[in-house]
Amino acid sequence: MIKWIKRLFKRKEINKKPMKSQIVISSFFNKNNIFPDTYFFYKPLNIDGILQTYNSYIIKYPMGRYTIGSWIDEISQRFNINPRIIICLLEKNNMITTTNPISKETLDFALGLGVSKFELISKQYKGLDKQIFYISQNIRRWFDLYSIKNCGKVNCIDDNDIVSKNAFTYALYMIEPYVGTNDFYLVQPVKDNTGIVTGINKELKYKAPFGVYKFWAIWNEWFEK
């Protein structure tokens, strides 16, 4: 696949096509240390207040006796994870600030778990409540499995030199690839911050690190002001 893309990029007609977007990676982003481990653990958050502020469409998702906010809070407490993690993962997939209708099929797999051609696998994860439960369970599991021995083995698509400096960073990479898109972008490198932007041909185009980087950007915009 990589060789095919490299050959594709050598074709002049491809290189003449305009880029879809231009992204500047923040100089504050450290791909090896996304957030300290102290950020990982449960801390109260007015989740329903956030959803109401953005008039979020997911408030309408049926949760039985729970609101979406109370469900996120309960699951976050159960696994002792920060509910901000779930909020950022949802918003990374445009699930919070979107006010336009979202199909139930999309919401049922809002966090990307269990998307499979096998009905039994999909059924296990189907539903926004289950998506929130299992993503919380998974990130807690990866956090607990972190060790110096395996810290360099993370879930990356096109960057092999990431070395997680702590458990939170490791857990994020294991549930969310560093590069989360197949789109190619022209990216302006940041001075004195090499290695953040990855790509196949560093003279032409880069893949934007939408997965973990987008999570980091949302967290900083919403919770670090």
pLDDT digits (tens, 9 = 90+) for 102-153: 898 899 999 988 866 566 667 889 999 999 999 999 999 989 988 755 554 5
**Mean pLDDT (whole number) for 62-73:** 93
The confidence score (pLDDT) of residue 198 equals 37
**Mean pLDDT (whole number) for 72-98:** 95
154 has a pLDDT exceeding 90: no
Tracing tokens 């329903």 back to the chain, one arrives at 48
Asked if 196 contacts 25 with a C-beta cutoff of 8 angstroms, the reply is yes
pLDDT digits (tens, 9 = 90+) for 1-42: 444 433 433 443 333 343 344 455 677 888 889 999 999 999
Looking at residue 190, what DSSP letter applies?
P
185 has a pLDDT exceeding 60: no
Contacts of 96 (CB under 8 A, 6+ apart): 50, 51, 54, 56, 58, 87, 90
Contacts of 157 (CB under 8 A, 6+ apart): 177, 178, 179, 180, 207
> CA–CA separation, 87 vs 166, rounded Å?
21
Supply 143's token pair.
């956090």
The confidence score (pLDDT) of residue 39 equals 97
Average model confidence (pLDDT) across the chain:
74
The confidence score (pLDDT) of residue 94 equals 86
